[in-house]
Amino acid sequence: MITWKYTDETHLVVSRTLDNGSSESCLVSAITDWIAEGNTPTPADIPPEPTYQELRAVAYPSIPDQLDLLYHGGLVGWKEAIDVVKTKYPKGT
């Protein structure tokens, strides 16, 4: 039994797993023929949910923006901006 695997959210199938457990890359025409025979590819592995640290890292203001907050709003202004992110993405989620 040969199974095909999607590689990303575009559902582009570019590899297959053979009966012996090995995998190989394929030409799109081979994939098209295989699907035309009534076979169904399996979806790609679902990536893990981002951690709260990863979510916070993206949501925090850039370092230049944080320095600007410190300069114009002082420690209180900077802390308020940081606390918004910490509240949105609490530790341990």
Neighbouring CB atoms inside 10 A of 4's CB total 20
Q: Does position 27 have pLDDT exceeding 70, yes or no?
A: no
- Residue 22: pLDDT band (50, 70, 90) is confident
- E strands, 7-70, in order: 13-17, 23-25
Question: Residue 6's beta-bridge partner residues?
Answer: 13
* Alpha-carbon Rg for the chain in angstroms: 23
Query: What pLDDT is recorded for position 36?
Result: 81
